[in-house]
Amino acid sequence: MIVRWIAALVAFLVVAGVGLVAFGNFSTGIDPGSFFDSEGANSFALILAVALVLAFFVYAVVEYLQTGSFASISRQFDTRTIVLMPLAIAFNIILGQAVGAALKIPIYLDSIGTILVGALAGPIPGALTGFLSNILWTYVVPPPFNSGIAAAFAVVAAVIGILAGLFGRAGWLRPRPDRPMRDLFAGGVVALAVVGFLAYYAYTRFYGTTFEFFNPDNTDLLFSLLGWLILLLFVAFVVGFIGLLFVRRDLTVAYVVIAGVITGSVAALISAPIAANVFSGVTGAGTDFLVAAFRQAGSDIQTATLQQGLLSDPVDKMVTFFTVYLILNAMARRTKARFPQGERLLDDGDDEVLDDLETPPSPQGAPA
Amino acid sequence: MAAVAVGGFVGPLLLVALGVVLPAVLAGVIGQLARLTLLLSLPIAISAVLVNVFFFPGGETVLLRLGPITATAEGLVFALEILVRILAISGAITLFYLTTRPAELVVDLERRGVSPRVAFVASASVQTVPAMVERAGQITAAQRARGLDTEGSAWRRVRGIVPIVGPVILGAIGEVEERTMALEARGFTRPGRRTLLWWPPDSAWERVLRWAVALAVPVLIVARVAGWLTWLP
Amino acid sequence: MLTLEAVSYRYAGARRAALRDVDLELRDGEVLGIVGASEAGKTTLALVASGLAPRAIGGTLRGVVRIDGRDVAAAPMHEMAAQVAIGFQNPATQLSGVTETVFEEVAFGPMNLAVPRNEVIGRTWDALASLRIEPLAERHPARLSGGQQQLVAIAGLLALRPRHLVLDEPTAQLDPAGTDLVAEALSHLSARGASICVTEQKTDLLAGLATRVAVIDAGAIAFSGPADEVLADPRLADLGVAAPSAVRLYRVADAAGLSPVARDRLTAALAEELDVR
């Protein structure tokens, strides 16, 4: 057991080290403010993500060599999960393709299935769902549901699945209905503080140096419009969030928001170098105009894709986590409970209901 | 063609590396490939050209000025570079699925030791996508018959998505339980390999070619990282 | 022989037991019908008898399920699959969803059980032949009608060569023509020695097919016996089960005051005319 973890850790460090030495170039152009300005440093998160995925393979191989099976992993893959995964992959591909190609809005919605599987079954099925979604999307699914770029982002999708699995395991997506106002208020403040902090950090570190949304000297019409649009979105989000929290009185809304923002920020860090290095920031989706806008403002490709990601991804993952939470709420308790990680998605009151069960006849008491 | 099938599992970085080489190879390939490739890469290509021609930072040679945006020569050169890259990637992908049936690929992978469960997920996904699209189409038609607005303004369309996507997702999830039981009743949980009825043929020269391609990829990456390829335009 | 001895079962997370103290015997070569109102426990009984409950879906089981006298509590699901096959009412969810031809779909079960390749092919042709659907072999399973899919699903069970077949409302989603096809296939099978347990709300189907019928109510067996006796029992209506058309005709004629001879002639003639058993 420990050997597996050590082997995986060593693999992670070796791959990350080799990656950083081979591709990273930290000696030039590090901006102490953002830390992500140079091309080499920009790939930092990507290299770590690749190392993470490879470390998982090492873990699996060592377990196989030790025990001849993948028991600790396959426990997360019961038949129910195996049946859900193709559906989840289809949700990802169909919604992602529809949103990316048809709607031309700067979000993706291509990870609903990944996050659903992660929450219900665990980090590894979640990661596999994300990874396979993007691989199949590019290499196997025929047009019109084929995307030439998805496979490049398979690592990002895998990490999203891992995060969703961890949030599910931690019980973040458990319903918390009818909480007292005091709790709801506290939850709302905490969630807004996290979002606000990340927004402020992203703004000062990644946007502030290159352009000001409301700089009075800024004569660029595009940026004034963009600034207003973003401000409007933000206001709409805050209003919607508070409304949901207090109308539904469900404290989990706050958890969903934080989970979405964290997942989105991580996804942005990993996907930015891929978008920049492989596709030069152009993916044919609705996000392109954002990249273009940031480049117009003077950012290089690396920075522009990161800026775009930090804007699109947290919003996208927040919407996605929320959708998944709605789906989970619509599922029957019994159905949820049977997934490997399902019991962590049931609300607190359920345990008491279980204790009230009328016990079935005992073997001794049962008449023949 | 199995060489292409198995060789197709290359990562994004490799695709870029191959992107320098592949256009020449693909230049002589027939109409269907060209048409599909163009069709597939068109949206991203247009996007790439527009973004780079007009928003290339630091471009000095001004070609055209349209209000706040300017087209620069540097941007145009860069856009062309990216176009070639996109064509290479989508060309390789198009070639791959023009020559490979998903079912053959999955059977071949399973024969080579991929777990039957992973194989199941892969082939079920490929079949689920069109099935679910069909289902969404039926529900759309039904909702439209009930007077739901699927045309009109953007906001109306977004609102229209909910009654279509909702039933598709929840309906599919509702069937998970029955599918699970049906699979288990047919011995799906038995550990170990299962019997395969058929698999695609694999000739000696295909194997050689496959290894050659697989070896060429790391060589190219090393070459690129080491800077031996800088003489290429 | 498949027997349930004092079996009670409760779904995971449910408040109440779905089956209580059920004793049941499925003898070799017989067709046993299970009738009851919806939610009475028919499906649960099918799941328990086939081993899916509690293996695949959890829950708590008391009592013993035996195959040929052997307690199967410890046997894993894939071993049960070779002994007892189970079919459900919705044909779409029973197809594996990974095959491109009916032939592969029917072969899916034996392939999973790692039956040697030549035997898989032989079994598959046999299963297709016994339901007379060989012409469908090359078709795509998703492109068939509901009735054809149900036949393919049943063929997939037959290819497992189980000695016991449990079918949960196999004709629920079928039109009359499809129902006739399934009924015909099942009587062929039982004639060839398989033991079959069918849960049904359509008592007409059972009237011509079952040798014995058990009535289930609120998770317990209310009464059971030879098919013609049970299906003519007046208590059926109180338990939410409609009597077969022939029995209802008989009663209507009786109520109208026809003489016994006239009543018998009328019901026989009407049964002939309307093609009910």
Q: For residue C15, list chain A residues with Cβ-Cβ distance below 8 A.
A: 353, 356-358
Residues of C with CB under 8 A from a CB of B: 47, 50, 52, 55-57, 76-78, 81-82, 85-86, 88, 90, 92-98, 100, 104, 107-117, 120-121, 142, 153, 156-157, 160
Arithmetic mean of pLDDT, A128-138: 88
Q: For residue C12, list chain A residues with Cβ-Cβ distance below 8 A.
A: 334, 337-338
| Side-chain-side CA neighbours of residue C143 (13 Å) | 11
Domain boundaries, chain C: 26-57+73-234, 244-277
Predicted local distance difference test score (pLDDT) of residue A354: 40
In terms of DSSP bridges, do strands C60-67 and C70-71 run parallel, antiparallel, or are they unpaired?
antiparallel
Tens digit of pLDDT for each residue in A233-243? 667 777 777 77
Other C-beta atoms closer than 10 Å to the C-beta of B231 total 6
Least confident span in A210-224, B37-51, B106-120, B162-176? A210-224
Q: Specify the higher pLDDT residue, A21 or C190.
A: C190
pLDDT value at B174 more than 90: no
Mutate one of C7, C15, C47, C65 to test the A interface: name it (highest A CB count within 10 A): C15
Q: Which of A337, A358, A367 sits opposite C15 (nearest CB)?
A: A358
- Cα–Cα dist B7/C89, whole Å: 43
Q: For residue C153, list chain B residues with Cβ-Cβ distance below 8 A.
A: 182
**Nearest of A236, A98, A111, A323 to residue B150 by alpha carbon:** A98
pLDDT value at B74 more than 80: no
Closest-CA residue of chain B to A85: B121
Residue ranges with strand state E in C209-258:
212-217, 220-226
Q: Specify the higher pLDDT residue, B215 or C230.
A: C230
Domain boundaries, chain A: 1-70, 181-337
Q: Does A357 touch chain C (CB under 8 A)?
A: yes
**CB of C237 within 8 A of CB of C72?**
no
**CB of A113 within 8 A of CB of A133?**
yes
Q: Which long-range contacts (CB under 8 A, 24 or more apart) does C139-142 make?
A: C139/C101, C139/C102, C140/C100, C140/C101, C140/C102, C141/C95, C141/C99, C141/C101, C141/C102, C141/C105, C142/B127, C142/B131, C142/C95
pLDDT value at A164 more than 90: yes
- Cα–Cα dist A22/A25, whole Å: 8
* pLDDT-derived band at B100, boundaries 50, 70, 90: low
* pLDDT-derived band at C46, boundaries 50, 70, 90: very high
- Cα–Cα dist B108/C276, whole Å: 51
**CB of C4 within 8 A of CB of A354?**
no
Q: Does C73 touch chain A (CB under 8 A)?
A: no
User: Exposed e or buried b for every residue in A165-190, given b needs 16+ CB within 10 A?
Assistant: bbbbbebbbbbbeebeeeebeebbee
Q: What angle do CA C37, C42, C43 make, to 5 degrees?
A: 125
pLDDT value at B61 more than 70: no
Q: Give B167→chain A minimum CA distance, Å.
A: 11
Q: How much of chain B exceeds pLDDT 90, in percent?
A: 0
Arithmetic mean of pLDDT, A176-189: 81
Q: Does B183 touch chain A (CB under 8 A)?
A: yes
- Cα–Cα dist B198/B221, whole Å: 36
pLDDT value at B162 more than 70: no
Q: Does B189 touch chain C (CB under 8 A)?
A: yes
Identity of the amino acid at C129: A
Q: Could you tell me the two tokens for B205?
A: 């020269």
Predicted local distance difference test score (pLDDT) of residue A129: 93
- Cα–Cα dist B50/B71, whole Å: 9
**Nearest of C211, C217, C216, C245 to residue C229 by alpha carbon:** C211
**Residue that the structure tokens 């522009």 belong to:** A304
Identity of the amino acid at B42: L
The residue count of chain B comes to: 233
Q: Do A143 and B183 touch (CB under 8 A)?
A: no
**CB of A237 within 8 A of CB of A198?**
no
Task: Taking the CA atoms of B134, B135, B140 and B142 in sequence, report the sign of the dihedral they define.
Answer: positive
What residues have CB less than 8 Å from B5, skipping those under 6 apart? B96, B99, B100, B104, B105, B108, B200
Q: Specify the higher pLDDT residue, A36 or C40.
A: C40
Other C-beta atoms closer than 10 Å to the C-beta of C270 total 16
**Nearest of B136, B161, B41, B44 to residue A143 by alpha carbon:** B41
* pLDDT-derived band at B166, boundaries 50, 70, 90: confident
| Side-chain-side CA neighbours of residue A16 (13 Å) | 16
| Topology classification of domain C26-57+73-234 | Rossmann fold (3.40.50)
Predicted local distance difference test score (pLDDT) of residue B82: 66
Arithmetic mean of pLDDT, B68-91: 66
Tens digit of pLDDT for each residue in B102-127? 778 788 888 877 788 888 888 888 88
Mutate one of B9, B44, B87, B155 to test the A interface: name it (highest A CB count within 10 A): B44
- The SS3 assignment for C260 reads helix
Q: Do B121 and A82 touch (CB under 8 A)?
A: yes
Q: Which of B182, B192, B195 sits opposite C93 (nearest CB)?
A: B182
Average pLDDT, chain C: 86
Closest-CA residue of chain A to B170: A327
Specify which residues C224 forms β-bridges with.
Answer: C214
pLDDT value at B154 more than 60: no
Q: How much of chain A exceeds pLDDT 70, in percent?
A: 67
* pLDDT-derived band at C277, boundaries 50, 70, 90: very low
Q: For residue A357, list chain C residues with Cβ-Cβ distance below 8 A.
A: 10, 14-15
| Neighbouring chains to C with at least 3 Cβ pairs closer than 8 Å | A, B
Would you give the DSSP letter of residue C51?
A: T
Least confident span in A83-87, A333-337, A355-359? A355-359
Specify which residues C215 forms β-bridges with.
Answer: C35, C223
**CB of A156 within 8 A of CB of A116?**
no
